[in-house]
Structure 1
Amino acid sequence: MPRLFLETDQMANLNSGLGQLCLHLGRELVRQKPASWDMTFLVSKEQVGIFGPSVKYMVASKWKRVWRNWNFDVWHCPHQGSRFFPRRRARFVYTVLDLNYLSLAQYSPDRKARKKKQYQARVNQATVITTISKYVAQDVRNQLVVPHSTPVQAIYCGVDMPETVSMATPESKPGGPFLFFIGMLQAYKNVHTMLPLLVANPDHWLVLAGPDKPEYSQQIWEQARQLGVADRLLMPGPVAESTKWWYYANCEAFLFPSLMEGFGIPVIEAMSFGKPVFSSALTSLPEVGGDEAFYFPAFDAKSVIETFQNGMKTYRQDPTMAERLRLQSQKFSWEAAAAEYWQLYQQVFDQVKL
């Protein structure tokens, strides 16, 4: 019986994007698990049993990471920063979500070099490298040395949309029509470039939700005060799932001007509500938004305002666009992702038998 190991230790923080990715991919992998496969998850002590009784569990600990002789046919690390990896020769599926760390200005060259060395060591060890977009696949080839014999395969993430969305009205509601962004608020998300939209649309508010880097938040507030729009800016910090859905359902449009994205799940979530999406045209985002998103050609105030005005005019005049946006969002599912992974696991195991 083939033995598969999934490193889902990051589910210890289920409020993180990585925790959610491990949870939803794991659930769908279990649902599709062939009867002939044995499956083991690495989890925190509190999460033993989270995927049900048909699979096995190991509790993550430093002792086990260093000393335990784990013996599996296929080992999958679903993110590039894992602390756990096979010590012995094993068929190793290594997933790279993004290499943004290597480009962020807040990290020193020495720190980036150490991180790059860690990534390269795992790439050297991998049987197969998977990524969450074609952009990341190319970035891996550009920034790391991939052995000629190691395939790199893009498998898109899914988006977990509940059948019945439970919504909760936020405590501090915007006082009029509003534009919405959600994600980690740090400089590469580029959301400060959206503030001129409040100048051009004096009845609109801007909601920027998500955990923040204080220095970047201060920059946003200072710029908003200079533009005279601070009274129509809301930054509620991290929000509950039910509040997030309320923002998506009630916003006028969704803004995602990020300069670096391995995938871009918020774009898909917004599209699932039929909302117009105004996105950066950089990195992976055109793969996600497809032909249905509106893309900023530049981020100066004139370009941002013109792109928004023309896009909203197109959206309002096209009664079919909301449905096309929903259909675009449905191209990305955990069901499809898990099916691709099971096909890959089988291919990797078949190599073991050769």
Structure 2
Amino acid sequence: MPSLFLDTERMSNLTSGLGQVCLNLGLELVRQQPPGWEITFLVPKDQVGVFGPSAKYIVASRWRRVLHPWSFDVWHSLYQGSRFLPQRQSKLIYTILDLNYLSMPEYSDARKARQKRRYQHAIDQASVITTISVYVAKDVKRQLNVPPTTPVEAIYCGVNTPSSLPTQPPTIKPDKPFLFFIGMMQPYKNVHTMLPILKAFPQYRLVLAGPDKPAYSQQIREQAQQLGVADRVLLAGPVDEATKWWLYANCDALLFPSRLEGFGIPVVEAMAFGKPVFSSTLTSLPEVGGDEAFYFSDFEPNTVVETFRHGMDTYRNDPTMPDRLRAQSQKFSWAAVAADYWKLYQRV
């Protein structure tokens, strides 16, 4: 009986994007499990049983990172930072979500070099490397040494959206039409470049949701103050699921000008609600937004304002666009991701 092992240890934080990737992919893999296969999940103690009774479970612990007796036919590490790698003969599938760590200015060269060595160690063991976008696949080949016989394959991320809005009331409910951004508030997210839109369109508020880096949040506040729009910028911090979906459903548009993304889940989530998306042209985002997103060619204030003006006019004058946006979002389903991975597991 072929055996499959999946490192889903990062379900220790189910509010994180990685925790949700582990949970949703695991659930769908079990649902599509072919006859004769055995699946074992590495999980935090409180998640034993989450994938149902047909699966097997190993509880993750720190000492098992360096010493474990496990042997499986296929071993899938679901993210590039995993410390759990096979010590015995297993076919390793090594998934790299992004190499953003290597580009962060807040980390020293020495820290980046240590992390790069960890990535390289896993690559040297891997039978197949998978990434969540073509951009990341190219970046892996550019920054790391991939053996010529090791395939690098892009299997896009899946995205779940609710079929109906939660009944729980939102914790944030702007009193004016609003634009929306969600994600980690860090400089590479580039949100400060969107503030000229508020100056040009005084009817709007801008809601920024997600954990923040205090220095960058302060930069946004200071620039908003200089432009005279500080009273219309709401730094909401992390929001619960009910509030997140309400904000998507009720915003006029998503602004996502990030300079560095392995995939860009908010783009898909906004499109699932038929909302226009304004994105950068950088890294993976054009792969996800496709022909239906509006793109900033640069981030000069005039370009940002005119791109937004043109995009909103186009959206309002095209009654078919919301349906096309929803169709674009449906290309990124967990069912499709799991089906692609089962083909890969069986091949290796």
Provide TM-score, normalisation by structure 2. 0.99
Listed as ranges, the matches of 1:44-63 within 5 Å are: 44-63=44-63
Larger deviation, residues 268-277 vs 161-170: 161-170
Is the 8 Å Cα contact of residues 170 and 242 (structure 2) preserved in structure 1? no
1:268 matched residue in structure 2: 268
1:115 aligns with 2:110: no
Deviations 1:247-274 (A, max 9, x none): 0000011100000000011000000000
1:127 matched residue in structure 2: 127
Deviations 1:33-67 (A, max 9, x none): 01210000000111100000010000001232322
Is the 8 Å Cα contact of residues 167 and 243 (structure 1) preserved in structure 2? no
SS at match of 2:41: strand
2:83 matched residue in structure 1: 83
2:307 matched residue in structure 1: 307
Is the 8 Å Cα contact of residues 180 and 254 (structure 1) preserved in structure 2? yes
1:14 matched residue in structure 2: 14
SS at match of 1:307: helix
Structure 1 gaps, min length 5:
349-354
CA distance in 1, matches of 2:160, 2:91: 29
**Which residue identity lines up with residue 339 of structure 1 in the other structure?**
A
Q: Which runs of 4+ in 1 moved over 3 A?
A: 167-172
CA distance in 1, matches of 2:165, 2:66: 43
SS at match of 1:153: strand
Listed as ranges, the matches of 1:170-189 within 5 Å are: 170-189=170-189
Q: CA RMSD in A?
A: 0.9
CA distance in 1, matches of 2:261, 2:67: 36
1:64 matched residue in structure 2: 64
1:209 matched residue in structure 2: 209
CA distance in 2, matches of 1:168, 1:209: 18
1:254 matched residue in structure 2: 254
1:190 aligns with 2:190: yes
CA distance in 2, matches of 1:170, 1:57: 36
SS at match of 1:290: helix
CA distance in 1, matches of 2:40, 2:314: 50
Deviations 1:92-149 (A, max 9, x none): 0000000011011111111111111111111111000000000000000000010000
SS at match of 1:291: helix
Matched residue pairs, number?
A: 348
CA distance in 1, matches of 2:67, 2:139: 34
CA distance in 1, matches of 2:71, 2:162: 37
Is the 8 Å Cα contact of residues 159 and 268 (structure 1) preserved in structure 2? yes
- Distance apart, 1:167 and its partner CA: 5.2
Structure 2 gaps, min length 5:
none
SS at match of 2:58: strand
Provide TM-score, normalisation by structure 1. 0.97
CA distance in 2, matches of 1:120, 1:140: 10
2:231 matched residue in structure 1: 231
CA distance in 1, matches of 2:271, 2:345: 31
**Which residue identity lines up with residue 233 of structure 1 in the other structure?**
V
Are the structure 2 counterparts of residues 167 and 260 from structure 1 closer, same or farther at C-alpha, using a change threshold of 3 Å?
farther
- Distance apart, 1:70 and its partner CA: 0.4
SS at match of 1:195: helix
1:351 matched residue in structure 2: none
Is the 8 Å Cα contact of residues 172 and 243 (structure 2) preserved in structure 1? no
